[in-house]
Structure 1
Amino acid sequence: MKSKSVLLIEDNIELQELISTFLKDYNYNCIVYSEPFEALKEFEENHAKYSIVILDLSLPRMDGFDLFKKIKKIKNIPIIISTARDDIGNKIYGFELGADDYLSKPYEPRELVLRIDATLKRYKDSEELQINDLRIDLNKRSVFLENQQIEFTKIEAEIFFMFIENINKVVSREDIINQTSLKEDTKNRTIDMHVSNIRFKINDDSKESIYIKSIWGIGYKFCDNN
């Protein structure tokens, strides 16, 4: 069975070792960071490999809630808060931000494993990508900008999800014609028009594009970071 990777952000060294050792026994690969800025850099660069984040709130140089928001902006990943802040105000705020669970220290490591298992089970049937302000439901083929669903035409949706299936790869205009409902004799300017409409709907300025980069003489590349 392939191990799932857990990002543990916790500055208590003793607790780090206890949790990471325990998770390993239950087939979880635990990567640990004490410093929030280092953890954020790691997540920005390698977020695709992580299944869940375990986050302490009392961290050096950055409050855990601020780090929570930065992580969620990069990717809609499940997050379990693990903290000594057990007052109801912090719990409510954590859940309002979108925490999947909230564990008050001290707790038994086995309880954390059970909570991770339960959280990942809930996410199993929901494949979503979070790219900046875009939330993309791959199963339902729905796209949301700042939680408002975008209405694509059939062709626009086909092109958009083709881009998503090839994130950070160049997609030629020929590929778009061959893998969508467009006719074989479709002109380049027609494809460009559809892409322009997609850009408009996802709030992507063609002159200073965040997502869809034009590759001169070939086609386009959808980028998930800058």
Structure 2
Amino acid sequence: MPEILIVDDEPRIAEPLMFALEREHFGVAHVTLAEQALAALRQENFSLVVLDVGLPDVNGFEVLKELRRFSEVPVLFLTARQDEVDRILGLELGGDDYVTKPFSPREVVARIRAILKRLQGAPSAPTGKKTWELDETGARILFRGQPLALTRSEFRILAALVQRPGQVFSRAQLLDVCDNDEDSFERSVDSHIKTLRAKLRPLGGDSLIATRRGLGYYLETESP
């Protein structure tokens, strides 16, 4: 049974949504603060997080930034903000969908089902094919036999990780690897990593680019 974590401090929002999810046979947990949410997500494996942007202690986007340091659990934002900039920001940070208030609990449940169905449908590794194939001459990287559409900086970062799986690269090291005038800040590396994870997610490989908190990024090897 999928377990959903709702992070919202408004009972009039959370309670109808909890009821709708339980009626559809989801397991549901509810917290009202960002600190509680992050603690729960470190301790338990949830299938999806419904995250309010306007929490009383920490902005929901900041919560997602911290969450993405240790988990790729899908996130559905709830917000009263209509601004398109907020929508773009939420999705670029690694959010999976976005619903503005007021909303129908049935609509949110349908969106949750769609996200989970999409993730469950991610293809597994084809038999007999390597996980990673690096073609430096053609500046291409294939994941599970599928070529990835990469920018120059994304290719250079991922190539460095693929060539040394398990080695932790600092942001400064990956910035040097980019060798691109447009990438002048270490946070540019974070942006490229998020985009790489997003491109790998449909193939089920987003979690292989892991974060070592306070140190940098490294490539996980797949379990046999």
TM-score of Structure 1 vs Structure 2, range by shorter chain:
0.5 to 0.7
Aligned mate of 2:6, from 5, 8, 28: 8
Give me the whole-angstrom Cα distance separating, in 2, the residues matched to 1:142 and 1:99: 26
Q: 1:37 — aligned with what?
A: 35
The 3 A distance-change label for structure 1 pair 203 and 106 is same
2:117 is aligned with 1:106:
no
2:88 is aligned with 1:92:
yes
Give me the whole-angstrom Cα distance separating, in 2, the residues matched to 1:89 and 1:22: 30
The 3 A distance-change label for structure 1 pair 23 and 202 is same
Deviation of 1:26 (Å): 0.6
CA displacement 1:76-134 (0-9 Å, x = unmatched): 1111101111211111111221211110000111100110111111111338xxxxxxx
Deviation of 1:151 (Å): 2.9
> Which of structures 1 and 2 has the bigger CA Rg?
1
Give me the whole-angstrom Cα distance separating, in 2, the residues matched to 1:17 and 1:73: 29
**Paired residues of 1:100 and 1:119 also in contact (CA < 8 A):** yes
Give me the whole-angstrom Cα distance separating, in 1, the residues matched to 2:169 and 2:93: 24
Aligned mate of 1:148, from 138, 154, 158: 158
Q: 1:79 — aligned with what?
A: 75
Give me the whole-angstrom Cα distance separating, in 1, the residues matched to 2:3 and 2:157: 28
Is there any run of 5+ residues in structure 2 with no aligned partner, and where? 133-142, 144-153, 171-211, 214-219
> Aligned AA for 1:148?
L
Give me the whole-angstrom Cα distance separating, in 2, the residues matched to 1:41 and 1:73: 13
**Paired residues of 1:126 and 1:139 also in contact (CA < 8 A):** no
Deviation of 1:203 (Å): 4.5
> Aligned AA for 1:96?
E
Q: 1:70 — aligned with what?
A: 66
The 3 A distance-change label for structure 1 pair 8 and 87 is same
> Aligned AA for 2:15?
E
CA displacement 1:130-174 (0-9 Å, x = unmatched): xxxxxxxx747758999625336xxxxxxxxxxxxxxxxxxxxxx
Is there any run of 5+ residues in structure 1 with no aligned partner, and where? 128-137, 153-196, 205-209, 212-221
**Paired residues of 2:64 and 2:94 also in contact (CA < 8 A):** no
Relative to its length, the structure with more strand (as a share) is 1
The 3 A distance-change label for structure 1 pair 38 and 28 is same
**Paired residues of 1:81 and 1:103 also in contact (CA < 8 A):** yes
Give me the whole-angstrom Cα distance separating, in 1, the residues matched to 2:85 and 2:77: 14
TM-score (norm 1): 0.58
Give me the whole-angstrom Cα distance separating, in 2, the residues matched to 1:96 and 1:6: 22
Runs of 4+ in 1 over 4 A off after TM superposition: 140-147
Give me the whole-angstrom Cα distance separating, in 1, the residues matched to 2:20 and 2:41: 22
Give me the whole-angstrom Cα distance separating, in 1, the residues matched to 2:114 and 2:38: 25
- Aligned-residue Cα RMSD (Å) equals 2.9
SS, match of residue 95 in structure 2 = coil
